[in-house]
Structure 1
Amino acid sequence: MKTNPKELQAIWPDVYTVPSHRLRAAVAERLWRHAVRGLPLHVEYGSAFGAVSGSASGPGSNLPTMLIRSPEAFFQRIGSNGLIGFGEAYMSGDWDADDLVRVLTIFASRLTRLVPAPLQRLRKIAVPRARGADRATPEGARLNAHRHYDLSNELFAQFLDPTMTYSAALFPDPSGATWEGLAEGQHRKIDRLLDQARVGPGTRMLEVGTGWGELAIRAAQRGAEVTSVTLSQEQLILARRRVADLGLQERCEIALRDYREVEGTYDAVVSVEMIEAVGAEYWKEYFATLRARLAPRGRAAVQAITMPHDRMVASLDTRTWVQKYIFPGGMIPSIPAIEASVGGLRIVDRFSLRRSYADTLRLWRERYLERREAVDALGFDEVFHRMWTLYLAYSEAGFRSEYLNVWQLTLERP
């Protein structure tokens, strides 16, 4: 799809407009040069800025290279908007990398040391505040889900495997994960969750967050009576079609409903990578809802992405690039935050899929890049392509650096 510059500026106003703040840009440049000086990274600058290596090794070494094509714009962006500006600089083409994941992994593994400690205390003053419009109220949650999951079923089909599962797979050997083995890895992940929740013939199961229906289908094929809720109209349509194609309508209901609107009790509740979307202020309500829906001695299996507690606390009430462009209203919890939110539920098992998630994301990213022409044919422009590439690489780097983790948590209602 051809899009003229004026149309692009209307779609991506903060990408096509470079902020102008000389003092902030000068401070950002000084901090940046100090930060990258000790990194195992080669940095090249365009225009008259020269070149600098983060290490004694230069080009030709095994170091990844970050090319800052438009240094003036790059420093204006990060000086004015911090990490949001860093992401927007990539979206606009102000910088690039020969190995994007390696470059981002280097930054993610040293994130707490890149900015001097005294300046980190100014974070909440210097970075953009969270938008009230993105709060995951019942109405806000619908709008947030629409902005991500309703982009296009065809878009997600370009890089997800045939199960259309959009969460961490589980591989016996993540380093050997292949595209051909991804669907099996997703089933392995789903089966472990269903086993932990003790889902079998006759189980009344609630799924909070349908995705495109694979987990609900898998549970129904075990003989469970499944109710699954989603806020995405696009996911609803495809999930219902997949259920009908398999003749499982009698055992599997897919509903367009907020998790807070569900009624009744269930023997098991399963929720995969949903807590990240509900917003920090609603974590306790989310777990209270799971508890209220569980029958006595029922079990819940929750798959949750987590981050270090100190970084989570530092991020509260601030707006990130991911929140602005990928998951509005979202917030990744820490394990202590989850433990403080579960209320009357008791965590009886926890299992990490961190390494598997890094390679799940690698496979998605490789597939997306292979299918670039098909994505273009759907009407997505170059800025979207760079945004989506950065999102997948950024997420993979988070897990490779161990900044992010992902857990399958089993909870019981005593």
Structure 2
Amino acid sequence: MLTGILFRQIVREGTLTVVDSRGRSETYGSGRRDEPHATVRITDRATEAKIAAHPKLYLGEAYMNSRLLVEEGSLYDFLNICGRNVLRLENHPLWGMFERAGALLRPLLYYNPVGRARKNVAHHYDLSGELYDLFLDDDWQYSCAYFLDPKSETIEQAQANKKRHIAAKLKLDRPGLEVLDIGSGWGGLAMYLAREAGANVTGVTLSEEQVKKSRQRAKDAGLEEQVQFQLQDYRNLSGRYDRIVSVGMFEHVGTQHYHEFFRKVHDLLADDGVAMIHSIGRMSPPGSTNAWLRKYIFPGGYTPALSETLSVVERRDLWVTDIEILRLHYAETLRRWYDRFQANRARVRELYDERFCRMWEFYLIGCELSFRQMGQMVFQMQLSRRQDAVPLTRDYITDWERAQIAEGQSAAAE
């Protein structure tokens, strides 16, 4: 069995049975009943060879092309086993070479000049709007939610928590503040800041579909005087803003452009201004993006380590006034997206095809498990040009959130 040497050396946790193209089966792992079990079939020898050579790329490709079939257990069980054992793969002298190659090629893989950045964004965010409507919350928040109670909260509640939490960190202490939203998505956060804090918000995105949807939403909400959306690269902006926020965009900046990004934040931020960067990150040292994810889902995407982020910030004359690490919040977010995706899978198949459905299943489950088992997290970094731009303690964040919650409860009771 061509994949035998791979799974035999790597799988220690969980129990994985692999059936090859000739119908032969081998079982690997602990055999423990309290750990995940799965059986997969690989349909042809060419796919076996590819998986054995580069599993991080070709396992996902084989699944989406129906050349790797899950016969017992679920895709979640199979990827759970992979996630539990991935460190042995990365540390292996043979298969770890792809990790080392990825690190060496970082300047090329994550080089995102303006034209390439727009193409990378279009690859993912200019898909059918109906697709996102089928699995996101009703405000189209496509970033990590903030769960106060993961056992009981819906994705709508958790995304509302996220917007409120970010707004509190921006210290929106008076109406009329000029706010820049870098990577504004479908406009939900910008409209929230305008509605709840009286801010004037400029949102910029490189997605044509997002900017069209955002403008229509602002018009429908009667906020078009307060909220403006532009199809614009942040690097081409000028002027000064009281507040700058960026949610889920820094992952697409590219390591070669971190200095450029934080220099621009510094230059666009008012002297007494506050910025808040919300990004997926890693708890480990700098590395590389999963090859399959980079090829099929987020070309040019990379989740930074705090070490490589902070080393740039400290050269840009910016104060880091607060950092918060969100650990399992994104795992819970992705689980809810996956459940909604599956509930609407038949419609997604009509929009695209079976291969697309299998690709997104692999993406959503794989990413959830990366937050549960593989050291992925989210950081929220607050920045300012002056050390006294925010109060000395974090009480103002909690106070603002509690006031908003109380106001909402009072309005609901009337």
Q: TM-score range by the shorter chain?
A: 0.7 to 0.9
Partner of 1:135: 111
Structure 2 CA distance for partners of 1:323 and 1:355, relative to 1, 3 Å: same
CA distance in 2, matches of 1:277, 1:269: 17
* 1:323 and 2:297 are equivalent in the alignment: no
Aligned to 1:136, the other structure's residue is in SS state coil
Matching residue's letter, 2:13: L
Residue 282 of structure 1 is aligned with which of 216, 232, 257?
257
Structure 2 CA distance for partners of 1:96 and 1:339, relative to 1, 3 Å: farther
Equivalent positions of 1:132-211 (< 5 A) are 135-174=111-150, 176-178=151-153, 181-199=154-172, 200-211=174-185
CA distance in 2, matches of 1:109, 1:42: 12
Equivalent positions of 1:13-412 (< 5 A) are 26=2, 29-36=4-11, 38-46=12-20, 47-57=22-32, 63-70=36-43, 72-97=45-70, 98-119=73-94, 122-123=97-98, 135-174=111-150, 176-178=151-153, 181-199=154-172, 200-221=174-195, 222-310=197-285, 312-313=286-287, 315=288, 320-342=291-313, 343-378=316-351, 380-412=352-384
Q: After the TM superposition, which of the residue ranges 364-373 and 61-70 deviates more from structure 2?
A: 61-70
Q: After the TM superposition, which of the residue ranges 342-351 and 116-125 deviates more from structure 2?
A: 116-125
CA distance in 2, matches of 1:335, 1:132: 21
Aligned to 1:407, the other structure's residue is in SS state strand
Structure 2 CA distance for partners of 1:163 and 1:258, relative to 1, 3 Å: same
Per-residue deviation at 1:124?
5.8
Aligned to 1:39, the other structure's residue is in SS state coil
CA distance in 2, matches of 1:56, 1:232: 47
Structure 2 CA distance for partners of 1:143 and 1:192, relative to 1, 3 Å: same
Per-residue deviation at 1:43?
1.9
1:371-398 Cα offsets, whole Å, 9 max, x none, are 01211222x1111111111000011001
Partner of 2:411: none
Structure 2 CA distance for partners of 1:370 and 1:53, relative to 1, 3 Å: same
1:263-287 Cα offsets, whole Å, 9 max, x none, are 1101110000111111111112111
CA distance in 2, matches of 1:232, 1:130: 24
TM normalised by structure 1 equals 0.85
Per-residue deviation at 1:50?
1.7
Aligned to 1:291, the other structure's residue is in SS state helix
Per-residue deviation at 1:129?
5.8
The count of aligned residue pairs is 378
CA distance in 1, matches of 2:49, 2:36: 26
CA distance in 1, matches of 2:219, 2:42: 51
CA distance in 2, matches of 1:372, 1:275: 30
Q: After the TM superposition, which of the residue ranges 401-410 and 226-235 deviates more from structure 2?
A: 401-410
Does the 8 A contact of 1:232 with 1:256 survive in 2? yes
Paired-residue identity, %: 34
Q: Which runs of 4+ in 1 moved over 6 A?
A: 125-128
CA distance in 1, matches of 2:257, 2:6: 36
Unmatched runs of 5 consecutive residues or more in structure 2:
387-414
Does the 8 A contact of 2:349 with 2:356 survive in 1? no
CA distance in 1, matches of 2:272, 2:76: 44
1:285-314 Cα offsets, whole Å, 9 max, x none, are 11111111101121111111112443x33x
Aligned to 2:93, the other structure's residue is in SS state helix
CA distance in 1, matches of 2:166, 2:186: 17
Per-residue deviation at 1:405?
0.4
Does the 8 A contact of 1:159 with 1:367 survive in 2? yes
Structure 2 CA distance for partners of 1:349 and 1:101, relative to 1, 3 Å: farther
